[in-house]
Copies of this chain bind each other. A is one copy, B any other.
Amino acid sequence: MAAEEHDPPRTFGDELNRRVGRRRSQLVLGLDPDPARLWSSLEPGEAALIDHCERVIAAVGPACVAVKPQLARFELYGAPGRAALGRVVQAAHEAGLLVIADGKRGDIDVTARAYAQSLYGGADGLAGLGADLATVNPLMGPEAVEPFVAQARKVAAGVLVLVRTSNPGAAMVQDAELAGGGAVWETLAGLVDRLGSGSAGESGLDDVGAVVGATAPAQLERARELMPRAVILLPGIGAQGGRIEDVAPAFRPGRAAGLVTASRSIVDAHAERGGTPEEAARGAAETLRETAWELSSAVLGES
């Protein structure tokens, strides 16, 4: 991510920490545009996607530290969808938001490097998307994560490894108990900790973080033990049944050590709250931002 002029270079963790502190927000706005529920009166298509995301960012952006576009929703529109995604990333950056590219890519070697370059940038002569963070799937092992870490470090970006996702079916593989003790997801947590080691600055936060669902509080406690310096992205609050009160362990290393992500519960808030989509979303986002901030204050004994 771009540092401001005259600032000394920062580690990824320190820059994230500074942004979270300035905006008093750990909230990540999921951009997961459902073609049937867009905030746009344009004809369905990529222009409506851009219009929708720009409107949502304008309404809710001030309560957030980052946006998390769901790549699948853009890829559905082919090449124009990829162009639209680029426009949305630009709009987010202009609104002072970080961008988490949620593509959950998981491949190895030159393929993983190509994905990383495509998302972070850094390939010769190719701009890339300019994401500040990207989600990565570790099923193929360390080789699936390492090329992302290497590429992210070239541009002071970060990596978020799927460790324990928030969906029920995640239990099949991620919760499988190992003959040697522990579960598969704990092995993944160990990988995150190892690959991030040595990357923290003053904030104490590494550039390799994890996705851990807010739907399993006991696992989150254990995840924090196994990954004491990792930024943890917390999906599953709201629509998937997770409660913000349960994510306290995420904030133990600091304000920016837990990022709370929500999508439908913000963008579709008017269905429950009434009012315009903008007002309802702003209200829902502000409530979630404030609750997370106060929770982190309580955990850290700060105000």
Taking Cβ atoms with an 8 Å cutoff, the residues of A that contact B are 32, 34, 44, 70, 72-73, 75-83, 86, 104-112, 114-115, 117-118, 123, 125-129, 137-144, 162, 165, 167-174, 176-180, 184, 187-188, 191
Contacts and interface: CB of A to CB of B under 8 A. Distances in A.
A146 to B, nearest CB: 9
A117 B76 contact: yes
Contacts of A109: 167
A68 to B, nearest CB: 12
Nearest to A113: B72
A267 B211 CA distance: 38
Given A72-B111, A73-B111, A104-B106, A187 B173 contact: yes
A140 B123 contact: no
Given A86-B78, A142-B169, A167-B141, A72 B187 contact: no
Nearest to A176: B178
Contact of A86 (B73, B79, B104, B139): B79
9 closest Cβ contacts across the A-B interface? A141-B169, A72-B114, A177-B179, A79-B82, A141-B172, A143-B169, A79-B83, A139-B139, A75-B118
Nearest to A174: B139
Given A76-B123, A179-B178, A173 B105 contact: no
B142 A78 contact: no
A108 B75 contact: no
Nearest to A117: B76
Contact of A169 (B44, B79, B140): B140
Given A109-B167, A118-B76, A162 B187 contact: no
A137 B106 contact: yes
A11 to B, nearest CB: 26
Contacts of A105: 72, 104
Contact of A73 (B79, B114, B142, B168): B114
B176 A187 contact: yes
B83 A114 contact: no
Contacts of A34: 110
Contact of A79 (B79, B142, B144): B79
26 contacts: A72-B107, A73-B111, A75-B118, A76-B114, A76-B117, A76-B118, A77-B126, A78-B129, A104-B105, A104-B107, A106-B106, A106-B137, A106-B139, A108-B165, A139-B165, A140-B162, A140-B167, A140-B169, A140-B173, A141-B167, A141-B170, A143-B169, A144-B169, A172-B191, A176-B176, A176-B178
